[in-house]
Amino acid sequence: MLGNSKAPSISQIRYFVTVAKHLNFRNAAQALGISQPTLTTQINALESNLGLKLFERSRSGTLLSAHGHALLFSAEKVLTANLQFAEVARNLSDGENTMYRLGIPPTLGPYLLPYVLPDIHTLKPNLKFYVREAAPTQLQQGLLAGEYDLVLTPMSDANSQIQSQPLFYEPLKFVMPSDHPLAGKPFIDPQLLRDEQVLTLEDRHHFHHQVHDICKRLGAKVARDYEGTSLDTLRQMVVMGMGVAFLPGLYIHSELHKPEALHVCELADMPIVRQHVLAWRNTSPSRTFFRELSSTMRNIIQKRLEGAVTLAEPLSCEDKAPE
């Protein structure tokens, strides 16, 4: 009986199937490229390990035993599965035949990915992304916990467990109702925002904290009683005259095709941007591919979003696994 004996090796199973095919140890050994004594020794070891006789040997030749017949189909399936396993592993080794879990903030994903993913699919048709949205803090925590393979985020906190590549800078635009006293100018003096009621998103969004810091610098008031749940709701509150706001440039580029009800401008001599990076764990087996992917994304963004964003310079450090 097999009992607690170790499982047969792939080589032993291959030897068994080859002998069963040829029903001749000499011919089977030649087909396998090994010596006949080596083949005989391995078959004997397999039989001993299984506690079964797989072949009937006689002077007239070699035949499969009843046990050998019963195991042959399963043995062939094992060899087929082994070949498929090796083939899948070879396909995965270049990183382009895999589904990766991609995390991205809700204030970025819907306004960036439609410009980027179609071109990536054209270039790498077997590459897939399972996209999930979350706030940047949650994305970083999820990345470290293994919930994501990579994240595209304005994450800025340094972490020794994470590698990242800068992709682009996205401007933040200043918006107000079209009937606002400051409407009509392409640039607004930042001092004129003092005491303005600035609307923003809920504080679970990274964008909320960036706007809060801007308002603190300018002396503007953050309207804490009227926080938007999304960029769309924030935009509608501005249209209704509830206050002014900052909106991400990609949102405006994607959604405000006819912004008659809004005036979009910038602060004079005070460009405001947020930097987005592609980040992954420094232990990821795909880290080299992710670095190449960041370059591909940067090229697509340059082509598809020229004028809407500014490319960031890539880092030149080498990908290395931790010691």
- The alpha carbon dihedral of 203, 206, 211, 214 has a sign of positive
**pLDDT value at residue 13:** 93
**pLDDT value at residue 66:** 92
**pLDDT value at residue 95:** 64
CA nearest to 176, candidates 205, 191, 194, 197: 197
Distance between CA atoms of 82 and 142, rounded to whole angstroms? Answer: 33
* Maximum Cα–Cα distance across the chain: 107
Q: Along the 323 residues of the chain, how does pLDDT read in single tens digits?
A: 444 567 889 999 999 999 999 999 999 999 888 999 999 999 999 999 999 999 998 877 889 999 999 999 999 999 888 877 876 676 566 567 788 999 999 999 999 999 999 999 999 998 999 999 998 888 988 998 889 999 999 866 678 889 999 999 999 999 999 999 989 889 999 998 887 889 998 877 778 888 888 888 888 888 877 788 889 998 999 999 898 999 999 999 988 766 678 899 999 988 889 999 999 998 888 888 999 999 999 999 999 999 999 999 888 754 443 33
Contacts of residues 251-257 at CB distance under 8 Å and 24 or more positions apart, as own/partner, are: 251/107, 251/111, 252/173, 252/175, 253/111, 253/305, 253/308, 254/110, 254/111, 254/114, 255/111, 255/231
pTM: 0.69
Per the CB < 8 A criterion, the answer to whether 278 and 150 are in contact is yes
**pLDDT value at residue 1:** 46
**Domains, the chain, ordered by start:** 10-92 (1.10.10.10), 99-168+274-311 (3.40.190.10), 170-267 (3.40.190.10)
- Pairing verdict, β 162-177 and 273-281: antiparallel
**pLDDT value at residue 317:** 56
Cα radius of gyration rounded to whole Å, the chain: 31
